[in-house]
Amino acid sequence: MGSNINFIKNTLFYRREFNQWQQKFDALAPKAGDQAPDFELQTIDGGKHVRLSDFRGVKPVALIFGSFT
């Protein structure tokens, strides 16, 4: 029974820690409707660099993050 109590205490402690961390970084995150920060990426063939701002007001952009390995 003692180990269950320790588990609960530890869980509550880490949940509180996580919530504090989450609140700190949520405050820095863009809000709905905010303009996305500009960034630059190299094309897949390495031929040129493209900036997000190049497409602003021209066409929608979808960002997909994943692994291609």
Q: What pLDDT, in 10s, does the model give residues 21-31? A: 899 988 888 88
Residue 68 belongs to a domain = no
Give CA–CA dist 36/29, Å, rounded: 10
Length of the chain in terms of residues written: 69
In the chain, the number of structural domains is 1
Residue 63 belongs to a domain = no
Amino acid at site 37: P
Residue 31 belongs to a domain = yes
Estimate to the nearest angstrom the gap between the alpha carbon of 40 and the chain centroid.
17
Residue 42 belongs to a domain = yes
Give the pLDDT confidence of 3-47 residue by residue, as tens digits. 788 888 778 888 888 889 899 988 888 888 888 889 999 988 999
Residue ranges making up the domain that contains 47: 2-55
Tokens 């900036």 belong to which residue?
51
